Chain A
Amino acid sequence: MDIDEFMQQFSTSKGVSNISKIRENIVKLDLTKEDSLNFFDSIKSDFEHCSLISAIDNQPDFELVYHFSCINQAIVVKDSDCAVMLEAHVYLKRDAPSIDSISNIWFGANWHEREAFDLMGIYFIGHPDLRRVLLPEGFAGHPLRKDYVYEIHEEEW
């Protein structure tokens, strides 16, 4: 399938908006939190590799950015060897930072979600084992949030 056909096919999916193309091989779109699991279910055969889940603290709300990549060339760019990727942005409110987990679809998303929980405090509903992965067990707080305060022993420059 060509990348433009893919964009046309999925631009009318429930919850998808602002679909566009970065460079020539990345499809970028915005997704709502409630329809995210259905959308990811529908693309799982095309994009079989979950590459990255990043959590960003745009004060005051959170943003989750999902990146998926297509290795088996189900979707191609015309006249090019370039592999296609999908970038999905989901916006979450600060007082309810939770979203459905996709670890049952892609096993590779398991630890990415644990890290987003560990460092940013986003809850993934349905995750089999949501606990801290990088910081020690008794650590208090979520350090990558912008309002996390810690002591630095020298002055700012």
Chain B
Amino acid sequence: MSSKKVRGNPSLRRGVGSQTTDSDKIMEDPPAGDWLALRSDQLLEWIDNSVYNVAESTGIREVVDRITRPIFNFAQRLSPHPLHFGIMCCAIEMGQASAPDHDIDRLGLVYRSSPRQCDILIVNGPVCEKLRPKLKTLYEQMPEPKWVIAMGECAISGGPYWDSYSVVAGADTFMPVDVYIPGCPVRPEALMHGFLTLQKKIRAKEPGMFLRR
């Protein structure tokens, strides 16, 4: 895709309002002998960028991406691992969707308890002021690539609680959302349609091995 050296859109990916670190900027070669002065994430970022620059300038990146993108894409979209997280009524329908009658587990879903092992965060209820920092932490603990599904009216815009003093007007005020599923509550069939829409989005947009857009 693009040959820019920037890692995605920093303000959107890091979320609005979170602290930005020094590693947002492109690292140049450190002064000789100063390798040990780098922090571990800066070191990894520097190595990553060096490898990318070498691969880009020699043309290997195009070749590797063309081979690995379909394979990684195939694996990512057909094995979504959502986080085991339920807020309100839509979480009950999310659970009921895994029950024998609807069985969305046939899409490859495996619910994981730890955010470090997940791809997808499903926001299935109203986000209150007390919950907002914890949800932000959960989102930041998930490794890339990750997607967010806003399930239900409360997560899209506040829903029936639009005039409450403690409900945030939608999950997209503080984190980027990929798929919006309307409904109050969302039927299991609509949730399945939401996952299939996310699969289409992953197929159309997601990168291969080098994680550039």
Contacts and interface: CB of A to CB of B under 8 A. Distances in A.
The answer to whether A and B touch directly, with their CB atoms under 8 angstroms apart, is yes
Nearest to B133: A136
Nearest to A151: B165
B166 A135 contact: yes
Interface in B181-210: none
B163 interface: yes
B169 A153 contact: yes
B25 interface: no
B166 A152 contact: no
A154 B165 CA distance: 13
Contacts of A153: 162-163, 169
Contacts of A150: 165
Contacts of B165: 143, 150
Interface string B161-178: 011011001000000000
Nearest to B128: A136
A150 B130 CA distance: 17
B62 interface: no
A135 B130 CA distance: 7
A150 B162 CA distance: 13
A135 to B, nearest CB: 7
Contacts of B162: 152-154
Interface of A: 135-136, 139, 143, 150, 152-154
Given A135-B166, A136-B129, 13 more contacts: A135-B130, A136-B130, A139-B129, A143-B165, A143-B166, A150-B165, A152-B162, A152-B163, A153-B162, A153-B163, A153-B169, A154-B162, A154-B163
